[in-house]
Every structure is written in C-alpha cells, then in structure tokens.
Amino acid sequence: MKRLSIALFAMLTLICACSKKQEKSDDKVIGKPEIEVKDGRFTPEVMWSLGKMGEKAVSPDGTRIAYTMTYYDMAENKGNAELYLLPAEGGDAVQLTTTAAGEFNPVWLDDNTLLFCRGNEILSMNVESKAETTLGSVENGLEGFKLAPDHKSIVYITTIPVKRPEHLEKLYSGLDKTTGRINEDLMYRHWDDWVDEIPQIFLAKFDGKIDIENSTALIDSTFECPMRPWGGVEQFNYSPDSKTIAYTCRKKTGSDYAHSTNSDIFLYDIEKGTTKNLSEGIMGYDQNPVFSHDGTMIAWESMERDGYESDKLRLMVLDLATGTRTDLSEGFDYNFTNISWSNDDKEILGVVYYLGMTEIFACNRETKAFRQISHGYHDIHSFEMNGDKLYADQVSMQYPSEIFVYNLSDDKAEGKKISSINDEVLSQVRMGKVEEHWIKTVDGKDMLTWLIYPYDYDSTKVYPALLFCEGGPQSMVSQFWSTRWNFEVMSGAGYFIIAPNRRGTIGFGTEWCEEISGDYGGLCMQDYMTAADYFADNVKQIDKERLGACGASFGGYSVYWLAGHNHDVKGYNDGRRFKVLLAHNGMFNFEQQYLETEELWFDNWDLGGPYWDWNNPQIKKSYSNSPHLFIDKWNTPICVIHSEFDFRIVASEGMAAYNAAKMRGLEARYLYFPDETHWVLKPQNSLLWHRNFIDWFDAHLK
C-alpha cells in the first residue's frame, strides 16, 4: 500500500503517453493552457493547469536536455506528452513535437539525433530540422526501450498475453463474447489490472532500422520483466561493451508470486544466449542493475528479507570477475536508489530518503563512506549524470518538477534551477509557508512534522487545521508534489496542514520504520494524536475545536482507526479531537482485507499472517486493531472515497465503512469512482475529488 514518489511520476507519464495503438491523427492536440490566477489562490483548477515534466535525457556532449512535458485539457479529460529541448545551461525550451498521440522515452543516438516512442512506434528525430523517421513498430505496444552503447541493438518492453491452460481453454470454445474469467491460482489481478498480459523484454538488432520481426525474448514467457506495477526501463541495462544485459526478474507465478518479494538480477550473454543469476541467495527485492563504466562491476538495489517490501534498500556491488558481492551501505541506515557511477567508477551516486527529504548522496566504493551532495527543502526524484554534472528532476511542496543542476564535487548544495516550466503560473500564486518542526513523541523520541500555513495567512486570525495521515505505510512525508494530496491546494482552501512522519515512515532509520509492522494501532497512532495536540496547543492561530483528519491507503486506515478512538479525549470541548474525517481507499476490516488483497506477502509481514492463526499472539494483536471492531465508538461525520479498480484495497472496504457510518446514524458521504484505481488519475475525476474534499471540510470546519 506504499505511496509512490519517484515511481508515481513515471507511472503518470506512462499512462498519459503510452498506448498500445497509435491514436487517431485527428485527435485534439493538447497544448499549454492560458490561465490567470485570481487572488493568488492555489486551487485544484490552477494545479491541473501546470505542466508535468516526465522523462529527460542529456545529450552526449552535455549541451542540451530533452524532456517530455504533459499538459491537460479538462474538457477532453486527458493530457498528452510532447518533447522539449532545453539548453543545459538554462534558458528557453524549444518544443520538438506537436501531436495528439504523446511521446515518451527520449534517448540520444548522437548529439543531434533523438530516439523516442510514440504509440507503438520507435522514431528518430533530427533535433535541428525536427525531421522524423520511423525505425520500427511493435504490434502489442511499447512501454520503453534502451539503446546498446555500440548502437547495434535495442532492448524494448512490450506485453504478451497470458495463455489459459488447455483444460480451461476448451471451456471457452465458441464463446467469443463471454466475459467470464476462470482462475485456479492466485495473482490473477495485480494493483489495478487483471493479469491478462505481462511485460517482457526483447532484444532487436539496429542498423538504421529496428528488426522487430526477428527480435529475441530474453526471459521465459511465464515471467514478467520489468516487474509490475512500478518497473520500467530502469530494471535492465547493457554492459559497456554491449555484449551482456543485466535485468530484474521475479521468476515466480501464481501463489508463489503472491507470497514472495524475492526478485533477482540476471545476466544475459547475447552471443551465447545464456543466463546467470547474480543475486542468488539474497531473498528480498533485487532490482535496477547498473554496470560500472569499465564493465567489471554491477551495482543494484537490494533488500535482504523476503516478503518485506519496505526492507532497507542496500547498495549491493558485484565484482564480475571474482563473483564477490559487497553491501556498501552496511553502515548507512537509509535507502539508496537511482544508482549511477562516477566516470572513474570510484563513487556510486544515488537518491537517499533522508530526514523528510530525498537527496543525492555519493558512496566511496573503497571506504564505504557516504557524503551528501544536495541539500534543501525538496525531493529529488531522479538525476542523470553527464561528466561531473548532475541534472535532477526536483520538486517541493511549493513547486512541481523542474530541472536543477548539481556538481559531483558539491557539498550539501542547493542546486541551480535551469528550467522554468511553470514559472509563469506560479508567479501569480501566493503559496502557504512550510515549516519543519521536530516534536517529542509519547516515548520521548523526536518526530519530524511539517506545518503548512494557510494561503494569505494573517497572524491575527484563527484557522481550521487538517491532520494528514500518510499512506504506505512505510513511506515518507517528504517535500512531495502531488495532484491528489497537494498541501498547497489545502492551504489555498484556508487550512493549516499538520503532516507528521509518524512511526513507520522511511528516511529516519531502520528502527523507526520497523516499529509499525505488527503494531498498526500502537505508537504510530499515538504519533498522529501527539502531532494534532501539539500544534492545537502551541499554535494560537489554529482553532483547537476545528480539527479534521484525512488520509489514503494506510492513511485511510488511520482515519478509520482514529474514528473509533475519537471519544473522551481530554482538552477538547466535546471530548472529540477531530470534528470531521475523510478516508480514501483505506483498510476497514482486516479479515476481509487479508482475503481480498493480491500481494499476500504484504499482510503476512505487516499483520503477521492469516487471521485464523489465533494461537499466534502477533495475529491477535494485529487483527484486534481492525477499525471495524470500533464502529460502536464512531461519533464523527466521515467522508469515504474508494475506487473500483483498486485491487490492493478493494472497493468493498470503503462501501462497508460508509454503510457502517450511516447505520450508526452519522452524517456521511460516499464518493465512488468506477473507473479509477488506488489513485485518482483522470483529470475530471481529480477535480471532483478535490472539490468534494474542500466542500466536505468547509461544511464542517468553517
């Protein structure tokens, strides 16, 4: 139930840009909208007018950056991505494409030629003349590709259908219009899709054209690569000599897949057609391999334990000659992702979740010493190196993705902003101030909590406040920018936002993260209540009697749990800390959730296993904190939001919570999306979500 950060932005870009069939040429081309911001207020409508930067690629000579940018048309209820070109020193960007289909996955062939995807085609473009050439097309659609260093082949991602077993296939004979599904194993649906097809990687020769027809599958057709739901082109890489390909794969299906996170790094020899497992014996996630520049080593992200998706992401390095594996982050208590090697292979750089921000760190391969390169109130989603320059995709709570540049030699630098994608609109906006507070928990520990001030804050006035409950559960309340949980939209509506990094969030060490597993109703819930009380008591501009709480996924569960523990609270006039609640796609009934979710390893780890194992003390503790057991204590208006295509926490959870509230005689509202997933991604649905959010809290707190 993890909240996406880096992966969500890539996923959004993919959804908007990638399709299995080329869109009609007469479809509307969506461009940058004209908008005037009234009164400087940041509203949901203003948020959706902003451009969303997707993938980027630095030219070989380091002079230009190609990137994708998506704008949205609310009437059309969609967006599409175009390619842009930006000088690496900053300046005005040039738009390279203007189509209705959407472009993605830019890759430089040389300093003047850009390869990219559009629909099911891979094309090349001369960036000076903008002349395009189609290099190849893939019938089943494209999800991305990588070009070999010697430019003689590519590896591309497409999907292949999952075949029914013969004994079931015969039952469908002559029934071409049936919609029935017969399953005899687990993992028949995953996150937001029925598993009717799986992604696979194929190797194709390239000599000015891509030989798709004679391409070679690199893995068995029963396994997926990249891994669903987050994986993309980062999950495989060529060796510098173009002779081998390292890729990520969890070679499991059905029930085994549903119960395990044990993926591995495999090395495919192109000439021999042989495959070797490089991470055998490591039982957790192993993913995203990257070769050193001299080709003698591979680094990747590695988790130690099977079934635990939030285990520490270690920096693992393999010496290909000796077979020796080394955990370079053994003495470093933070997750390390987005791996890149320095030109001399002496340092390995990555993005680190660190104390409420995501920053670029470098690890010395010989000494295992880590140093911080970037520093500030921001999140760095990813970066691309060119020589000693690092070009980062960076956001904060106050601005969406922009390109910042850092130097390899930097020491806690703030970076230089070189793009101006949304400056025109944001210059018209008065954002709410963001403050960092470290407050004491009930057991005397320090907890980072963000306080976001209301738009147009006046210190002589008092305002309502919202407690934000983070999802995940093992994710960080960082400086993220989101089109759903956007703190500046909440600020623009006139609210303080209290956003604690409660027990279970990453970025504060392993001990802090792991205190949540098996203890959903314990210290993490105390952390929420502590944060709400602290700011209600210590910020005189917060009206203590006008507090609300909201959250999604684990945050939705948190709201349901708080609803059952929102009575007889000392220090509040009517004994209720929160006067109104909103829960999105949250777990309501743990027993129901255990049998309905798809990745069973998650509940096996975080809840302890199946609820019928009552001889297990951990089971009793976990399931006794299911929110549905405290319905008799519910006394607060609640809005429930859920979506039909959320297979992680299915829609019946939200419906049950709403029905329970109504049967308790409470004021309640149910917002249901029949065409959304664990997230609300369609523009008009998102606007309805936000309007409902503001209307619901305004009705009870203003």
What is the domain count for the chain?
3
Q: What pTM value is reported for the model?
A: 0.95
Give CA torsion, residues 667, 670, 671, 672, to 10 deg. 180
Residues 551 and 409 in one domain: no
Report the candidate in 601, 590, 592, 547 with the shortest Cα–Cα distance to residue 571: 547
Cβ contact 186:255 at 8 Å: yes
* First vs last C-alpha separation in the chain: 32
Looking at 99, 123, 140, which one is the last position of a domain?
140
Looking at residue 484, what is its pLDDT?
Answer: 87
In angstroms, the CA 90 to CA 73 distance is 28
Domain coverage including residue 333: 328-425
Three-state DSSP state, 313? coil
> Looking at the annotation, which residues are catalytic?
553, 646, 678
Residue 598 pLDDT greater than 80, yes or no = yes
For residue 225, being part of any structural domain is answered with no
Residues 674 and 597 in one domain: yes
What crossing angle do the helices spanning 554-563 and 523-538 adopt, rounded to 10°?
70
Residues 398 and 500 in one domain: no
pLDDT, tens digit, for every residue of 222-236? 999 999 999 999 999
For residue 249, being part of any structural domain is answered with no
In angstroms, the CA 517 to CA 638 distance is 27
Q: How confident is the model at residue 14 (pLDDT cuts 50, 70, 90)?
A: very low
pLDDT, tens digit, for every residue of 427-473? 999 999 999 999 999 999 999 999 999 999 999 999 999 999 999 99
Amino acid identity, residue 237?
N
In angstroms, the CA 587 to CA 626 distance is 8
Other Cβ atoms within 10 Å of 45 Cβ, number: 15
Percent of the chain with pLDDT over 90: 95
Phi, psi angle pair for 539, to nearest 5°: -110, 105
In angstroms, the CA 297 to CA 317 distance is 7
**Burial (Cβ within 10 Å: 0-12, 13-18, ≥19) of residue 547:** buried
Cα Rg of the chain, angstroms:
25
Residue 3 pLDDT greater than 60, yes or no = no
Residues 523 and 636 in one domain: yes
Cβ contact 548:464 at 8 Å: yes
The residues, ordered by sequence, that sit 6+ positions from 175 with a Cβ below 8 Å of its Cβ are: none
For residue 323, being part of any structural domain is answered with no
Q: How confident is the model at residue 534 (pLDDT cuts 50, 70, 90)?
A: very high
Mean pLDDT is lowest, of 8-22, 435-449, 595-609, for: 8-22
Q: Which residue has the higher pLDDT, 11 or 448?
A: 448
Looking at residue 27, what is its pLDDT?
Answer: 80
**How does DSSP assign 67-86, residue by residue?**
EEEEEEETTTTEEEEEEEEE
For residue 550, being part of any structural domain is answered with yes
- Residue keyed to tokens 């890759």: 107
For 207-241, b/e burial (b = at least 16 CB within 10 A) is eeebebeebeebbeeebbbbbbbbbbbbbbbbbbe
Q: Provide the 8-state DSSP code for 310.
A: T
In angstroms, the CA 452 to CA 491 distance is 7
Residues 348 and 481 in one domain: no
In angstroms, the CA 404 to CA 25 distance is 35
CATH number at residue 507: 3.40.50.1820
In angstroms, the CA 509 to CA 276 distance is 34
Residues 679 and 588 in one domain: yes
**How does DSSP assign 595-645, residue by residue?**
HH-S-HHHHHHHT-S-TT-TT-HHHHHHHTT-GGGGGGG--S-EEEEEETT
Residues 391 and 435 in one domain: no
In angstroms, the CA 303 to CA 459 distance is 47
For residue 355, being part of any structural domain is answered with yes
Looking at 116, 140, 164, which one is the last position of a domain?
140
Residue 18 pLDDT greater than 80, yes or no = no
Residues 437 and 512 in one domain: yes
**Averaged pLDDT of the chain:** 95
The percent of the chain in helix, strand and coil, each rounded to the nearest 5, is: 20, 35, 45
Cβ contact 119:101 at 8 Å: yes
The token pair that represents 117 in the structure block: 């995807």
Cβ contact 62:389 at 8 Å: yes
Stretch 627-652: mean pLDDT: 98
Looking at 425, 460, 480, which one is the last position of a domain?
425
Other Cβ atoms within 10 Å of 581 Cβ, number: 29
Stretch 244-261: mean pLDDT: 97
- Residue keyed to tokens 């050193």: 292
Cis geometry, peptide bond prior to residue 500 (ω within 30 degrees of 0)? no
Residues 401 and 460 in one domain: no
* DSSP element (H, E) containing 168: helix 166-169
Q: How confident is the model at residue 1 (pLDDT cuts 50, 70, 90)?
A: low
Q: Label each residue of 453-522 as H, E or C.
A: CCCCCCCCCCEEEEEEECCCCCCCCCCCCCCCCCHHHHHHCCCEEEEECCCCCCCCCHHHHHCCCCCCCC
Looking at residue 26, what is its pLDDT?
Answer: 52
Stretch 560-572: mean pLDDT: 97
For residue 108, being part of any structural domain is answered with yes
For residue 205, being part of any structural domain is answered with no
Residues 689 and 587 in one domain: yes
Question: How far, in whole angstroms, is CA 578 from its chain's centroid?
Answer: 29
Q: 337 vs 1, 140, 176, 429, CA distance in Å?
A: 19, 31, 46, 33
Residue 128 pLDDT greater than 50, yes or no = yes
For residue 633, being part of any structural domain is answered with yes
pLDDT, tens digit, for every residue of 382-422? 999 999 999 999 999 999 999 999 999 999 999 999 999 99
Question: How far, in whole angstroms, is CA 599 from its chain's centroid?
Answer: 17
Residues 416 and 483 in one domain: no
Residues 566 and 604 in one domain: yes
